[in-house]
Chains A and B, each alone.
Chain A
Amino acid sequence: MFRKLVEPQETVTILFDGKPIKAARGDSVAAALLAAGVGAFRHSEISKEPRAPYCLMGICFDCLITIDSVANRQSCQVEVAEGMVIQSQQGLRVIDGRVPE
């Protein structure tokens, strides 16, 4: 869907759903995942439909994702960091951290 126009000079490694991804330092988590070809960032709360970033500017909240155990972060507003652990979100969040079937 996207590719980098210029090879990044500095990279960091982040984990997305357990898989390592090389990301350009300074990029947002959303940009890093899109560049790595990630299709769905989450499945929606109600109909469990796949969703991915729509606006990339902090308006749409469709890029919400779990970053270092904190759910519902706007991935377009968070910069990647070495060793960051990122998880896609499945449906509604529940209070004890379990994900409903």
Chain B
Amino acid sequence: MTARKITAVTDLAEAYDLIIVGAGPAGLTAATEAAAHGVSILVTDESDGPGGQMYRSITRLSESQFAFLGPDYWQGTSRVKAFNASTISYAPHTTAWSLNPVEDNTGANTSGTGVEVGISLAGAARLLRARHVILATGAMERPMPIPGWTLPGVMTAGAGQIALKSAGMVPAGKVVLAGCGPMLYQLAYQLLLAGIKITALIDTTDRNQMGKALAHLPGFLCSPYFFKGLKLLAKLRSSVPFIRGVTGLEATGNGHVERLRYRKNGQWQEIQADLVMLHQGVVPELSLANSAGCALDWNPRQLSFQPRLDGDGQTTVPGISIAGDGAKIGGADLAEVSGRLAALGALSSMGVLEKARKADLKRPLERMLARFQRGRPFLDTLYRPSDGFRIPSDDQTMVCRCEEVLAGQVRSAIAFGAPGPNQLKAFVRCGMGSCQGRLCSLTVTEMMAAERKVNPEKIGFYHLRPPVKPLNVGELTSLPTSREAIMAAGGSDHR
């Protein structure tokens, strides 16, 4: 039994029992778990190979040359192996651009509901049916709107990791890492082991957070991340120039980044840089869940919206579950467990797995879940990005990179009376560009909440509509049309 690789839409079935979107840690384990129960499964993924961002390009890299990526990366080999050995259909290079609950009474489906997933692959699009969908779309980096963050040469730490894993590329020239959070330090550590000299690590960790984080220290001490983190930071502190207690950043340069200015103890200083990598944590990527109408709640500790889920990873929309960092930030180990839990939940809701059997299978997984969650409150609190880096105070800072809307313009529109983030679009076009608000939505919600002095929960989030990823006309016209669809659009019966 091996996974069947799909390279054209003509290889796809019209319907599957389970469609899993994303082949990262959560998607891989969800697929492997569900495949063991004999349901038909399609896994779609945008990337060229399984692994997600965490185990990116794991099947392409040589372990001897890239050993420095560490055991947390190379543990992915066994996950991908299990995935490749399971009876599933796997569609790489595939974009999921819509997700809709639909009525479906076909086959063994007794619940009366199903889900329709719009995908595009190799220049053609299809609308597929599933009895259940698990979104394993992972996380994205929290926007870090500082002046100059749109300059070429300013990237995210995640981009640095992707360059390393997917193309074996390392920074050349003066590289400066700036921000806070485990991923930033992990990248620094990996670069160090790869023999790269890091010019500086400019740390924006808010010093006031340490005291608050201490309350969560006992949990972190018993988590698997304590010793790992300690070792990593000790190595970094002895090998990389750390500039700590930074409260402001600005990238400058003529057509490309040349300097990173930083404010420390109230004084602005600058450092030369050919490449700046920013990071201040990750947040769930919610586009599909949001467009399908899944209820989202504000998580005040992680400062992000997250889907409202039950213990099976089931959202408020029947037939749609979410696993991994796309549900709540917890890292790859937690994502792998949540992927398996979501698979069990999906199987149970399809009637493939009895409730009692599900409960038995869930028990050991829930214990693992608790173990991997232990350290999170400490990390979330310690590396909570300070207000100034989330809610730009300088009016000239760009909030919406696509439509080039400045913080000052957003604030004027708020003062003028834009009732919510969706209405704000009509005022200043913020969030209406090609990224569809991915890189400004959190900033806009938090700016609005700050101006109105209310909880971000009250402000809400952009409402996304499909397609959540661009689809060209050629792809769209490749969709098969039924007679009913043609008539519904006012067409004639003569084809």
List residues of A (33-63) whose CB comes within 8 Å of B's CBs.
34-35, 39-41, 44-47, 49-62
Shortest C-beta distance, A9 to chain B (Å), equals 11
Q: Are A5 and B168 in contact (CB under 8 A)?
A: yes
Instruction: Report whether over half of chain A's contact residues are helix, strand or loop; otherwise say mixed.
Output: loop
From the candidates A49, A52, A54, name the one contacting B156 in the complex (CB within 8 A). A54
Given contacts A31-B163, A56-B158, contact A26 B169 (CB under 8 A): no
Given contacts A1-B274, A31-B167, A57-B158, contact A50 B403 (CB under 8 A): no
- Is A64's beta carbon under 8 Å from chain B? yes
- Is A90's beta carbon under 8 Å from chain B? no
Residues on A lying within 8 angstroms of B by beta carbon are 1-6, 24, 26-28, 31-32, 34-35, 39-41, 44-47, 49-62, 64, 70, 72, 76-77, 79
Q: Write the chain A residue with the least CB distance to B285.
A: A59
Q: Inside 8 A of A55's CB, which chain B residues have their CB?
A: 140-141, 155-156, 158-159
Shortest C-beta distance, B260 to chain A (Å), equals 14
Q: Inside 8 A of B168's CB, which chain A residues have their CB?
A: 4-6, 24
From the candidates B46, B152, B167, B171, name the one contacting A77 in the complex (CB within 8 A). B46
- Is B275's beta carbon under 8 Å from chain A? yes
List residues of B (8-47) whose CB comes within 8 Å of A's CBs.
46
Q: Are B404 and A57 in contact (CB under 8 A)?
A: no
Complex Cα distance, B194 from A59, in Å, reads 27
Q: Inside 8 A of A47's CB, which chain B residues have their CB?
A: 404
- Is B154's beta carbon under 8 Å from chain A? yes
Between B65, B153, B167, the greatest number of chain A beta carbons within 10 A of the residue's beta carbon is seen for B167
Q: Are B152 and A70 in contact (CB under 8 A)?
A: no
Q: Are B433 and A61 in contact (CB under 8 A)?
A: yes
Complex Cα distance, B48 from A40, in Å, reads 25
Q: Inside 8 A of B152's CB, which chain A residues have their CB?
A: 39-41, 50-52
Q: Inside 8 A of B154's CB, which chain A residues have their CB?
A: 54
Complex Cα distance, B405 from A47, in Å, reads 11
Q: Inside 8 A of A28's CB, which chain B residues have their CB?
A: 166-167
Q: Are B434 and A72 in contact (CB under 8 A)?
A: yes
Q: Write the chain B residue with the least CB distance to A1.
A: B275
Instruction: Report whether over half of chain B's contact residues are helix, strand or loop; otherwise say mixed.
Output: loop
Q: Inside 8 A of B256's CB, which chain A residues have their CB?
A: 39-40, 50
Q: Are A34 and B433 in contact (CB under 8 A)?
A: no
Q: Inside 8 A of B170's CB, which chain A residues have their CB?
A: 2-3, 5
- Is B211's beta carbon under 8 Å from chain A? no
Q: Are A24 and B438 in contact (CB under 8 A)?
A: no
Complex Cα distance, B61 from A6, in Å, reads 11
Q: Write the chain A residue with the least CB distance to B141.
A: A55
List residues of B (105-145) whose CB comes within 8 Å of A's CBs.
140-141
Q: Are A64 and B434 in contact (CB under 8 A)?
A: yes
Shortest C-beta distance, A44 to chain B (Å), equals 6
Q: Inside 8 A of A51's CB, which chain B residues have their CB?
A: 150, 152
Complex Cα distance, B159 from A52, in Å, reads 12
Complex Cα distance, B163 from A52, in Å, reads 14
Shortest C-beta distance, A63 to chain B (Å), equals 10
Q: Inside 8 A of B472's CB, which chain A residues have their CB?
A: 70
Complex Cα distance, B149 from A35, in Å, reads 21
Complex Cα distance, B141 from A51, in Å, reads 19
Q: Inside 8 A of A61's CB, which chain B residues have their CB?
A: 402, 433-435
Q: Inside 8 A of A2's CB, which chain B residues have their CB?
A: 163, 169-172, 275
- Is B180's beta carbon under 8 Å from chain A? no
Q: Are B255 and A34 in contact (CB under 8 A)?
A: no
Q: Inside 8 A of A46's CB, which chain B residues have their CB?
A: 403-404
Complex Cα distance, B434 from A35, in Å, reads 25
**A-B residue pairs, 10 tightest by C-beta:** A52-B152, A31-B167, A56-B159, A61-B434, A3-B172, A56-B162, A46-B404, A2-B169, A61-B435, A5-B168
- Is B439's beta carbon under 8 Å from chain A? yes
For this complex, 11 residue pairs linking A to B, each with C-beta atoms less than 8 Å apart, are A3-B170, A3-B172, A6-B168, A54-B155, A54-B439, A55-B140, A57-B158, A59-B438, A60-B435, A76-B162, A77-B93
From the candidates B166, B167, B439, name the one contacting A60 in the complex (CB within 8 A). B439
Mask of B398-438 contacts with A, CB within 8 angstroms, 1/0: 00011110000000000000000000000000000111001
Q: Inside 8 A of B48's CB, which chain A residues have their CB?
A: 26, 79
From the candidates B140, B171, B403, B470, name the one contacting A57 in the complex (CB within 8 A). B140
Given contacts A5-B194, A46-B403, contact A53 B159 (CB under 8 A): yes
Complex Cα distance, B173 from A42, in Å, reads 23
Q: Inside 8 A of A32's CB, which chain B residues have their CB?
A: 167
- Is B53's beta carbon under 8 Å from chain A? yes
Mask of B445-489 contacts with A, CB within 8 angstroms, 1/0: 000000000000000000000000110100000000000000000
